[in-house]
């Protein structure tokens, strides 16, 4: 099973253009050049990836259309993780089992989240207030 130290080494192995910071024991923020920070947390038996995408539009707005769009994006374009709602935020999350986690799987999940954010933000831009 991957340990906190293994996750720490995975974070350290990321490309030099990616900055990272362990904000608490077992919780890292990982930020690419123009990307929103991805929070990675060691939460046995999983590693959790989490990024705030945007503020949820207020009542009386186009929330139904946003929900439909998020479900479509989950079905069409997500290899790892999914969009969801947490409080007043639209979030993108993923969880990987620590049992057999290796660097390649860790990197693939992070890349999938980064790619999704980069390719989906134009589709979500019209829903931002």
**What's the pLDDT tens digit per position in 16-58?**
889 999 999 999 999 987 778 999 999 999 999 999 999 998 8
Query: Residue 64, exposed/middle/buried by CB under 10 A (0-12, 13-18, 19+)?
Result: exposed
Residue 77 reports pLDDT greater than 90: no
CATH assignment of the domain containing 68: 3.30.1460.10
Q: What is the span of the domain harbouring residue 87?
A: 4-127
Q: What is the pLDDT of residue 103?
A: 97
Vertex 36: Cα angle to 31 and 42 (nearest 5): 60
Residue 75 reports pLDDT greater than 80: yes
In the block, residue with structure tokens 């959790």:
48
Q: What is the pLDDT of residue 6?
A: 97
Number of compact structural domains in the chain: 1
Q: What is the pLDDT of residue 91?
A: 97
Q: What is the pTM assigned to this prediction?
A: 0.92
């Amino acid at each position: 099973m991957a340990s906190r130290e293994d996750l720490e080494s995975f974070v350290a192995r990321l490309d030099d253009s990616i900055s990272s910071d362990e904000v608490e024991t077992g919780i890292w923020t990982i930020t690419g050049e123009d990307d929103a920070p991805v929070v990675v947390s060691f939460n046995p038996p999983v590693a959790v990836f989490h990024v705030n995408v945007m503020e949820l539009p207020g009542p009386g707005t186009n929330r139904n259309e946003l929900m439909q769009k998020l479900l479509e994006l989950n079905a069409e374009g997500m290899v790892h993780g999914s969009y969801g709602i947490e409080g007043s935020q639209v979030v993108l999350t993923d969880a990987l089992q620590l049992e057999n986690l290796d660097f390649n799987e860790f990197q693939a999940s992070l890349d999938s989240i980064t790619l999704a954010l980069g390719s989906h933000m134009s589709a979500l831009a019209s829903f931002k207030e």
